[in-house]
Amino acid sequence: VTAERVMLRKQLKGKEMEMKDLLELVKQSNLNTIDIAKLSDVSRAKAEASQLMEERDELMSRLNEVEGAHQLLEEHVKLINEEVASLSQQCKIAQKEKRDAETRLEVLLNFFKEKEAERQRDEAVWLEKQGEVSTTIERLQTMQSEIQSYKQQIESLKREIVDQEKEYKGQITTLEAKAHEQW
């Protein structure tokens, strides 16, 4: 319906222009000397030329709009690609930090295991050398307290590393979600 209305409006406008040109020519010339067919052809040609110029201007306007939209789209795609690259880099950094934290946890666990074994050996040697039961018990309690303290430190470090790992996983998930949204 809209296309039909547009077409009818164009035809009406063309006819109005043609009629206007004819009226002007009739006023300017003597009716006896005017060739009506030529006059009609000239009038139609002028109307068609005017209509074609309007269509050309409309098409140029639409072309400029499309080119502008295309340029904006290309700029947006470029920005998205840059952001995806940045997010990928951040993801790689977060994964490396996670691996480093896991390595530190493993090193610390091994260190504290060795220290605990060393303490137990020292305790056994010390107990052999000590003759008094009360002194031996006190020393044993002291060493057990130290061992418990080391175990608490290990647990604290484990929790800290687990918390860091959760945080890194959350960051990675967020970065992946952002990258996915950008595509």
40-64 per-position pLDDT tens digit: 666 677 777 777 777 777 778 777 7
Report the distance separating Cα 75 and Cα 139, nearest Å. Answer: 74
Average pLDDT, the chain: 82
pLDDT for 30 equals: 53
Which string of DSSP letters, residue by residue, matches 47-64?
HHHHHHHHHHHHHHHHHH
Per-residue model confidence (pLDDT) at position 6? 75
- Please name the amino acid found at residue 130: Q
pLDDT of residue 182: 81
Relative orientation angle of helices 36-129 and 133-182, to the nearest 10 degrees: 170
Give the total number of structural domains in the chain: 1
- Mean pLDDT of the 90-113 span: 92
Give the pLDDT confidence of 107-151 residue by residue, as tens digits.
Answer: 989 999 999 999 899 988 877 776 656 676 787 889 999 999 999
How many Cβ atoms from other residues are within 10 Å of residue 168's Cβ? 20
pLDDT of 19 strictly over 90: no
Please tell me what DSSP assigns to residue 31: T
Cα separation, 9 vs 19, whole angstroms: 15
pLDDT band at 37 (very low <50, low <70, confident <90, very high): low
Are the CB atoms for 172 and 95 separated by under 8 Å?
Answer: yes
Closest CA relative to residue 116, chosen from 153, 90, 66, 160: 153
pLDDT value, residue 15: 73
Would you say the pTM of this structure is higher than 0.85?
no
- Domain range for 178 is 2-182
